Amino acid sequence: MFMKNHPTEVYTREATKQVLIKKYPGLAKFEQRIKILNGSKEDQIQDLKICYCRLPHQGRGLDYDDTGEHIGFVFEAYGHRMSFMTDLGHLTNNMKNFHRNNDVYFIEANYDLDMQIISSRPDFLKRRIIGDHGHLSNSQTAEYLYELADSNKTKHVFLAHLSRDCNSAELAISTVKQKLKAHPIGDKIEIHTDQLKRYFIKAT
């Protein structure tokens, strides 16, 4: 739908492109506008430096890998860095180093663990979501942000991919805020959920 409605280029990795075309054959007609990130760890597009690393996530495909080369990003321009990572079950030490000390974090806070456990979802789905290749809970996200945030740089956190059934914006924000109270950034950091569009409109 995005490529149909917007005549712009889209960047991804080759493996992800192939998975997307397999899942959505209609994408093939836009193939010339799908550009490939070819670097092993980073690419440069005009003033924007794009760094990326693999994220651990298992998709829904039963007969093939439906996530492609699933990656997280650090976008860097004019001395500022933004970390972007959704759909992941955990962060390794290498991934923590990759995403450390950024100005802005856009990170998944998918579910509240208690709500997930008592939900009516089938057990196999709960296990996939809670596992190391599933999604991050509010508490996990809070713990990771405590490790990653920089007291002199980090100003904004955007909590993303919140479950409609097993989470709420208020719960996600309060969980992260409670954890970060003991961090040097304390109350200085702004935490958002669905305000991303409004924030960037205001900023521009």
Report the half-sphere exposure of 137 (CA within 13 A, side-chain side): 18
pLDDT number for residue 40:
72
106 is in which domain, residue-wise? 39-203
Assigned token pair, 29: 């007609």
- Write down the pTM of the prediction: 0.86
How many structural domains are present in the chain?
2
pLDDT number for residue 144:
96
Residues 114 and 164 reside in one and the same domain: yes
pLDDT number for residue 159:
96
Average pLDDT per run of 10 along the chain, which is 204 residues long? 92 88 91 87 90 78 61 94 93 92 95 96 93 94 96 94 94 95 87 65 48
pLDDT number for residue 97:
92
Residues 101 and 172 reside in one and the same domain: yes
pLDDT number for residue 67:
64
pLDDT number for residue 62:
47
Residues 47 and 26 reside in one and the same domain: no
Residues belonging to the chain: 204
Distances from the Cα of 181 to the Cα of 16, 81, 83, 174, 175, angstroms: 38, 23, 21, 11, 10
Residue appearing with tokens 């080369």: 69
Residues 73 and 21 reside in one and the same domain: no
Report the half-sphere exposure of 3 (CA within 13 A, side-chain side): 16
pLDDT number for residue 66:
62
Residues 141 and 198 reside in one and the same domain: yes
pLDDT number for residue 28:
92
Q: What's 114's domain CATH number?
A: 3.60.15.10
